[in-house]
Amino acid sequence: MENRYPRLEINLAHLQHNVSRIVEKCGSCGIQVAGVIKGATGHPEVAKAFDKGGAAFIASSRLEQIEDAINAGIEKPMMLIRVPMLSEVSDVVRLTDISLNSEFEVIKALNEESRRQGKLHKVILMADLGDLREGFWDKEEMVEIAEYIENRMINIQLVGIGTNLGCYGSIAPTAEKLEELVELAEAQEKFVWEIVQQADMIESERTAEQSFAKMHEMYRAMWQADQDYDGARRSASRRAGGDGEKLEQYNASGNNICGPFIGKVMEKAIKMGESNACMRRIVAAPTAGSCGVLPAVLLSFAEDFPATEEMLVQALYVAAGIGKVIAENASLAGASGGCQAEIGSASAMAAGALVCLQGGDAEAIMHGAALALKNMLGLV
C-alpha cells in the first residue's frame, strides 16, 4: 500500500554535490546562492544538504519551514522570499535575517519590531518589471522609500533590490529588463560617506541628522584647535612648542620647495601636534599622537579649494570608515604597531578623505588610502 502513491526520492549526496558546483560557479562571478527549500516541503535534510553544499542563505516562502530548518541546527542566515504580512511581522524578525519587501507599512512595522527584539533586519526592495507578482510599480516611490530606510530607520538595513521574472506574467529576463533593474539599483546607490554614516546610526542609535551633527561637531573642534594655536606655549617638558610658528614663517617666505599647499599641511600638522603636547583640546583622529594629520589635510583643503563644511564633514565620515577598517583588522596603537600604525593610519584616512573631496568614487578612495598606507609601512 505504501508504494501506491507517487513518491519523490532525493539523493542527498547528489543534491549536496550539485549545490556545491553551483555555489562554486556563481562565486567566481561574485554571486551568492540561496538554497530554496520549499520545493521539498522544507524537509530539514534537504536544508542541511543546501547548507553543506555552501549556500549562503536558506530560503523559503513559508515561515514554518524556516523554523524547522533552524530547529534542525542550521545556522545559516534565513531568507523569506516573499512580502511579509503585517500579522506575521514578529515571527519574520524572530526567524529570518532578510526578507523581500514592497509595502512601506510593512517595512515600518519590521523596523519597530526589530527595535523591540534588539535585531537588525535586512530587506530587499522588489521592483515589478511587468511580471505582475510583487514589487513597486512607481519607481520614484521605490527610490524615496530606499532613501527613507537609509536615513531614518535604525533597525532596517537595505541590502539590495530584486524583481520576479518568468513567473506569474511570464516576463522573460531579457537584457532590457535586467538593464532596467541595474538603473534602479544605481538610483539607490550610496556614497562611501553614507555607508559609514549608516553604520554609525546603527551602532550609536542615532538618526541621520544626529549622526551628521556629531560629525560636524568633530570638524568644528578641529577647526577651533587650529585657530587656538599659540606659538608661545610650551609643553611641560619644554621640548615641544613654537615649531609650528617657525614653519608658518618659513612658508610665508615662499622658500618651501614642497609648495604652498603641502607646506600649509605640514604647518598645521605640527601646530596640532604641539597643541596636543601642550595639553590643549584636540580631536584624536584616530589617536592623540596622530591628531595633526587629518585636520591638517582637511583644513588646508578648505582654505585653498572650494569646499563647503558639509563636504568636509562627509570627508570625515570617509576617514572614519577607513580608520575603523584598519582598527578591526590591524592596529591603531603605536605601542603595538609603531608609527606606521598611528601616522600610517591617519595618513590613509586623510588620503581617502582627500580623494572623496576631489570627487573620487569608492574604488578611488580605497586606492588613495592604500597607497598612503603602503608608503608608511616600516615606519617604526
138: helix, strand or coil: coil
Q: How far is CA 263 from CA 80, 250, 268, 274, 379, in A?
A: 57, 9, 9, 17, 22
264 noted as active-site residue: no
- Does residue 259 contact residue 283 with C-beta atoms inside 8 Å? no
What gap in Å lies between CA 355 and CA 341, rounded to an integer? Answer: 21
- Does residue 66 contact residue 80 with C-beta atoms inside 8 Å? yes
The three cell numbers locating residue 172: 522573460
Q: What angle do CA 136, 137, 139 make, to 5 degrees?
A: 80
In the sheet with 98-101, reading across from the earlier edge strand, the strands are: 34-36, 57-60, 78-80, 98-101, 121-126, 156-162
Marked catalytic residue, from 25, 38, 246, 271: 38
Which H or E element spans position 202? helix 192-204
| Residues tagged active-site | 38
